[in-house]
Amino acid sequence: MRLEYAGVSKEYIKDGVNVDAIPASARERRVKAIYAKKSSNMLDWLDLPLVDQVDVDKILDVGEKIADKFENFVVLGIGGSALGVRLLKDAFVDSINRDIGINVYVCDNIDSDNFVTLLDKLNLKKTMFDVITKSGGTSETLTQMLMAIDRMKRKNIDWSKHLVVTTTEGNDLWKFATENDIPTFAIPVGVGGRYSVLSPVGLLPAAVMGIDIVSLLNGANISRANSARLDKTNLAYTSAYINFEMLKKGMNSLVVMPYSDRLRLVPEFFAQLWAESLGKKVDRHGNVVYAGQTPIKTLGVTDQHSQLQMYSEGPRDKVIMFISVDRVSYDEVVETELPFTSHLTGVSMHTLIEHEYNSTAYSLTTLGRPNYTVALDRVEEKTMGQLIFYMEMMTAYMGEMLDIDAYNQPGVELSKIYTKACLHMKGYGDYAKAINEFKKNKSKFTLE
Ligand code: PA5
Residue-wise pLDDT for 15-67, tens only, equals 899 999 999 999 999 999 999 998 899 999 999 999 776 789 999 999 999 99
Burial letters for 171-210: b for 16+ Cβ neighbours within 10 Å, e otherwise?
bebbebbeeeebbbbbbbebbbbbbbbbbbbbbbbbbbbb
Q: Which of the residue ranges 288-297, 322-331, 418-427 would you say has the lowest mean pLDDT?
A: 418-427
Q: Which of the residue ranges 148-152, 288-292, 367-371, 443-447 would you say has the lowest mean pLDDT?
A: 443-447
pLDDT attached to residue 443? 82
Task: Return the half-sphere exposure (C-beta side, CA atoms, 13 A cut-off) of residue 162.
Answer: 27
Mutate to test the pocket of ligand 1, among 40, 44, 132, 412 (most ligand atoms within 8 A of CB): 412
* CA distances (Å), origin 53, targets 206, 217, 377: 17, 11, 27
Distance from Cα 80 to the centre of ligand 1, integer Å: 5
- H/E stretch holding 116: helix 112-121
Q: Is 382 a catalytic residue?
A: no
The atom of ligand 1 lying closest to the CA of 187 is 13
Distance from Cα 308 to the centre of ligand 1, integer Å: 32
Distance CA 88, CA 100 (A): 13
Q: Is 305 a catalytic residue?
A: yes
The catalytic position among 276, 380, 392, 400 is: 276
Q: Name residue 107's amino acid.
A: C
Task: Compute the C-alpha angle 441/442/445, nearest 5°.
Answer: 130
Picking from 6, 66, 3, 61, the residue whose alpha carbon sits closest to that of residue 370 is: 6
Name the average pLDDT for the chain: 95
Distance from Cα 279 to the centre of ligand 1, integer Å: 16
Instruction: Report the SS3 class of residue 318.
Output: strand
Q: Which of the residue ranges 52-61, 215-224, 231-240 would you say has the lowest mean pLDDT?
A: 52-61
Check: CB of residue 301 under 8 Å from CB of residue 353.
yes
The catalytic position among 305, 426, 439, 440 is: 305
Residue-wise pLDDT for 180-196, tens only, equals 999 999 999 999 999 99
Could you tell me what percent of the chain has a pLDDT over 70?
A: 99
Model confidence, pTM: 0.96
Distance from Cα 126 to the centre of ligand 1, integer Å: 28
Mutate to test the pocket of ligand 1, among 44, 109, 138 (most ligand atoms within 8 A of CB): 138
Q: Which domains does the chain have, with CATH numbers?
A: 2-37+230-402 (3.40.50.10490), 44-211 (3.40.50.10490)
Average pLDDT over residues 361-365: 97
Q: Name residue 291's amino acid.
A: A
Distance CA 115, CA 77 (A): 12
pLDDT attached to residue 53? 65
